[in-house]
């Protein structure tokens, strides 16, 4: 019961929020749409009234042999108008309805983008966020827009119900009572069975979710390729066929119950209608009602039940749409996982700062175990700082703390002596360029895809070319049909698809184009071969003198040139120093370095063997 009340409160709150949003964005359209919709639903009863008046006029004229009376002429004109006005109103309603929907859709999408940008990265990566997002996305922005439409429909229906009740009251008050009682079963069927079918379709069932999921395999490029490669069609088709059959059965059963309910409720309604007709017929026979009023009572009584039916249906739809739309508000109400999102200290760095980790420990909010324990080290201005360690050692987590995607669970990070927690995030991120392992690809031209890292500034072509050279991206850019003006992504006409390695070079170029005091790269060249990687880092080191670069890499040939190397193992600092010092120490770094060097030698020797064998073979032949 409490749950039910809470849910009603949430629904009402959502309807209120959507309507106030709609009001704030365009009052005029909302008012016109609501007024015209309401008028349309009322005007039909005026039609009944004026027609019944004409019948009464004619009866009186016949009775008293009066000929054309002034009243008959006026009533005929009014009847004519009641046909003209709805057509006119419908046109206005359609126009403002479309205008309202289209414009509100744009405003809602912009609002969502704004809300998305307020989320912090840690929240975005949380399971809770992903779950809420999936649930909200299923209905898109349309559900919020529908709330407005159904709210106006409910308003119009209420006006229709009130108008018809008033007319019935004037004709013969007990008719109102009969009409309300007669409509009650319609209410039950509308809220119970009709809603059930609606929910089955729109909320989805486990079956539809499975079927949708399987169907998605055919929609995505990558997944369809696998479906074809593995010949998965028959398997997936069979699964979908089974679950769809189960779903269809549920729909058919619910429709059957609804049809039964509809029949019974209509039967009940017709019984009350008979009563009503009986009552008004007796009154007419006794001369208390004219024939026209009999006609009016009958048509209004029927109209009342139809409007009540529409009202219940629209209320049910409004509730459901509000329930779906609320998921967006639910999504954006997630609390921030980062402290002091706004109002922090603004950092105005002119030179690379001293960064100090002091006894930093960290565990992810959804996990029990510490990923980093008690790390203390510092990064000096302008240093090329490498972090190495096995998979899962905590390297990425460490730079995520530096980028303030998360705050340390214990200990602190200081930037020029200022605790990072008290720094305004935006100002800190302005001093940073971070390239994580999962990076975005931008479907723009090559030039724009590089320069996008400095939004709000005109594209500096010289700098674009400079960073493209630093990252060896010029190799492939110059071969593209339109070079720097080449549109990326095949979804665009004339667009091209880049390989993974090419995309990664572009991503590194983008980060370097940003040209900040501190650059953080997490395995930025994993999809690029070792030789190209060495070349890229050689040029980065040469051209980025004076700027701090923090780099995670598995390739020791690259790492060995760094000023400082931090070796992380199981979330702890294992060793710290430069290549020479660490090799001299003959510890973990030396072991890992030698292991990779030996493997490299083996591969080189193997390659040489193959070449030799091939050469021998060629010589012999």
442 vs 556 by CB, closer to ligand ADP: 556
- Measured from the CB atom, is 91 or 130 closer to ligand ADP? 130
- Spatial contact of 324 and 314, defined as CB atoms under 8 Å apart: no
Structure token digits, residue 38: 């309401």
Query: How many residues appear in the chain?
Result: 621
Nearer to ligand ADP by C-beta: 300 or 553?
553
How far is residue 383 CA from its own chain's centroid? 41
Shortest Å distance, C-beta 225 to ligand ADP: 29
User: Least distance to ligand ADP from the beta carbon of 125, Å?
Assistant: 6
DSSP state of 604: H
Q: 372 vs 477, which CB is nearer to ligand ADP?
A: 372
State the minimum distance, in angstroms, from the CB of residue 553 to ligand ADP: 11
Measured from the CB atom, is 122 or 511 closer to ligand ADP?
122
Nearer to ligand ADP, 391 or 621 (CB): 391
SS3 590: helix
Least gap, CB of 135 to ligand ADP (angstroms): 20
Residue 386 CB, nearest distance to ligand ADP (Å)? 13
- Judged by beta carbon, residue 26 or residue 390, the one nearer ligand ADP is 390
How does strand 548-552 pair with strand 564-569?
A: unpaired
Q: Residue 39: what are its φ and ψ, rounded to 5°?
A: -60, -40
What span, in angstroms and rounded, lies between the C-alpha atoms of 35 and 45?
Answer: 16
d(CA 435, CA 63): 94
Q: Where are the alpha helices (DSSP H) in 370-499?
A: 395-402, 425-430, 446-451, 461-470, 474-477
CA angle 265, 266, 268 (to 5 degrees): 65
Minimum CB–partner distance for residue 236 and ligand ADP (Å): 31
Considering the complex, state which of residue 161 and residue 567 has its C-beta at the smaller distance from ligand ADP.
567
Question: HEC states along 117-170?
Answer: HHCCHHHHHCHHHHHHHHHHHCCCCHHHHHHHHHHHHHHHHHHHHHHHHHHHHH
> In the complex, what is the shortest distance from the CB of residue 398 to ligand ADP, in angstroms, rounded to a whole number?
7
Q: In angstroms, what is the minimal distance from the CB of 397 to ligand ADP?
A: 3
What string of H, E and C letters represents the secondary structure of 203-228? HCCHHHHHHHHHHHHHHCHHHHHHHH
Backbone φ and ψ for 410, nearest 5 degrees, come out as -135, 155
Nearer to ligand ADP, 141 or 371 (CB): 371
In the complex with ligand ADP, which residue's Cβ is closer, 371 or 559?
371
- Are 70 and 55 contacting, i.e. CB atoms less than 8 angstroms apart? no
Cβ 566 to ligand ADP, closest distance in Å?
Answer: 11
Q: How far apart are CA 303 and CA 41, in angstroms?
A: 10
Query: Is the CB of residue 510 less than 8 Å from the CB of residue 450?
Result: yes
Which parts of 339-407 fold into alpha helices (H)? 395-402
CB of 405 to ligand ADP, least distance (A): 10
- Residue ranges that bind ligand ADP, judged by CB under 6 A: 125, 364, 366-367, 371, 389, 391-397
d(CA 197, CA 187): 15
Tokens of 370: 């510490």
């Amino acid at each position: 019961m409490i749950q039910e009340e809470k849910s009603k409160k949430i629904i009402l709150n959502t309807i209120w929020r959507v309507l106030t949003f709609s009001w704030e964005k365009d009052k005029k359209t909302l008012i016109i749409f609501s007024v015209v919709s309401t008028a349309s639903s009322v005007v039909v009863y005026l039609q009944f009234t004026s027609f019944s008046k004409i019948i009464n006029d004619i009866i009186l004229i016949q009775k008293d042999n009066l000929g054309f009376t002034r009243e008959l002429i006026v009533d005929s004109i009014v009847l004519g108008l009641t046909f003209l006005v709805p057509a006119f109103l419908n046109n206005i309603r359609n126009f403002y309805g479309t205008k309202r929907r289209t414009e509100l859709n744009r405003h809602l999408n912009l609002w969502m983008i704004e809300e998305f940008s307020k989320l912090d990265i840690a929240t975005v990566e949380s399971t809770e966020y992903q779950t809420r997002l999936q649930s909200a996305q299923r209905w898109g922005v349309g559900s919020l827009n529908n709330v407005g439409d159904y709210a106006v429909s409910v308003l119009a229906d209420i006006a229709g119900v009130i108008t018809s009740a008033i007319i019935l009251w004037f004709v013969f008050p007990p008719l109102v009572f009969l009409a309300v009682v007669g409509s009650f079963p319609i209410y039950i069927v509308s809220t119970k069975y009709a809603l059930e079918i609606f929910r089955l379709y729109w909320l989805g069932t486990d079956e539809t979710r499975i079927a949708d999921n399987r169907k998605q395999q055919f929609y995505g490029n990558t997944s369809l390729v696998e479906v074809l490669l593995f010949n998965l069609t028959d398997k997936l088709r069979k699964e979908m066929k089974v679950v769809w059959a189960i779903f269809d059965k549920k729909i058919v059963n619910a429709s059957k119950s609804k049809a039964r309910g509809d029949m019974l409720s209509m039967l009940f309604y017709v019984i009350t209608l008979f009563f009503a007709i009986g009552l008004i017929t007796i009154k007419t026979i006794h001369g208390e009602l004219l024939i026209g009023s009999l006609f009016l009572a009958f048509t209004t009584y029927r109209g009342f039940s139809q409007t009540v039916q529409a009202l219940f249906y629209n209320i049910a739809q409004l509730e459901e749409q509000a329930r779906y739309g609320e998921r967006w508000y639910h999504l954006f109400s997630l609390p921030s996982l980062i402290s002091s999102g706004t109002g922090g200290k603004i950092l105005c760095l002119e030179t690379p700062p001293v960064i100090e980790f002091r006894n930093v420990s960290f565990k992810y909010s959804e996990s029990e175990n510490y990923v980093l324990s008690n790390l203390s080290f510092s990064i000096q201005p302008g240093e090329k700082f490498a972090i190495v360690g096995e998979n899962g050692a905590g390297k990425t987590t460490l730079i995520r703390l530096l980028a303030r995607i998360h705050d340390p669970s214990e200990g602190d990070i200081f930037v020029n002596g200022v605790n990072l927690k008290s720094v305004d995030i935006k100002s800190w991120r302005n001093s940073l360029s971070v390239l994580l392992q999962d990076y975005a690809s931008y479907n723009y031209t090559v030039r724009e895809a590089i320069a996008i890292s400095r939004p709000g500034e005109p594209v500096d072509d010289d700098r674009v070319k400079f960073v493209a050279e630093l990252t060896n991206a010029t190799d492939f850019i110059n071969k593209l049909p339109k070079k720097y003006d080449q549109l990326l992504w095949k979804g665009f006409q004339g667009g091209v698809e880049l390989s993974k390695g090419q995309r990664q070079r572009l991503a590194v170029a983008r980060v370097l184009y940003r040209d900040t005091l501190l650059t953080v790269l997490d395995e930025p060249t994993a999809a690029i071969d070792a030789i190209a990687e060495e070349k890229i880092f050689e040029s980065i080191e040469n051209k980025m003198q004076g700027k701090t670069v923090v780099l995670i890499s598995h390739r020791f040939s690259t790492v060995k040139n760094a000023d400082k190397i931090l070796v992380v193992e199981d979330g702890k600092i294992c060793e710290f120093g430069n290549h020479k010092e660490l090799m001299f120490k003959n510890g973990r770094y030396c072991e890992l370095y030698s292991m990779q060097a030996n493997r490299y030698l083996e591969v080189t020797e193997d390659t040489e063997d193959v070449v030799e064998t091939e050469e021998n073979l060629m010589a012999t032949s």
